[in-house]
Structure 1
């Protein structure tokens, strides 16, 4: 099985206070460990970044937050996909490129767990890929406070949102694994 790494939305704009409190401050470090392994072994890897269509978003091209963080920045000819939907497969050639490379399995990591990570994991599984979610190389935010809070919706912590999403995805759409377990399985 050929397994590829897909890093999603690890962008400078994700540091904006607009998103609210965040869990897992080590997510980028864990993603960088995965990236180093895939680079060292020559396994396929893909970078995805979000270009929001919402003018107020820190990830809108006019707001300066679209750049991929240095800790996982692409080098050389590593492919980079720009998306404006929650799934890395929508509006990009990611699926076709994965299939052209003979990829049948994915390792997915990035930001944020309940939005673009979850949507990409679900769609990847529905497209027939064997998906591993590097749960400790992902993070969630509490309520996206900058977009306004709906008082009728239950308020959840970033950790609770992250844990709920990982739990929901595991088994049905992916195998949720820690970075150490993924690296061991790939070695």
Structure 2
């Protein structure tokens, strides 16, 4: 399997505080604009217990996942929503304050895959049930003899949901982009008992 593309990154804010008896529900998701990269790194808590000079028990549990995302052009209104800042549509202005609190929400994107022996494109849908975003670093560079593009960066952190046994990350493959997008739409708008 070879991954070669990334598209359709979206964020949907929690509709209400999550509980230990139900998975989160979401407000209508917003597009984060054309996406360049999303690289997930998982953090686990690990413990080993030895007895009689032999490993008796080893435990490794998910703690969180870092997902730094680079976006070609994240709409200011969407960026403000993700990081908890204030957006003024009339002025086209974001104002950041020290008291800003990034909301929890769901994050989705689609990767393009190819498999050996097939020319078909596979659309791999990713959905994280509980993430929180933070502003990444910003770079500015003068134009010289060559051009270097700069991207907006949002550092997402994925957490396990409060509901015991609830999944923190879903991944599914589809033969069409429409199928992958429909799957993600369903994750953002779960049915009763779903």
TM-score where L is the length of structure 1: 0.24
TM-score where L is the length of structure 2: 0.23
Greater RCO, 1 or 2 (C-alpha within 8 Å, sep 6+): 1
Task: Return the structure number with greater helix share.
Answer: 1
Structure of greater Rg: 2
Task: Return the structure number with greater strand share.
Answer: 2
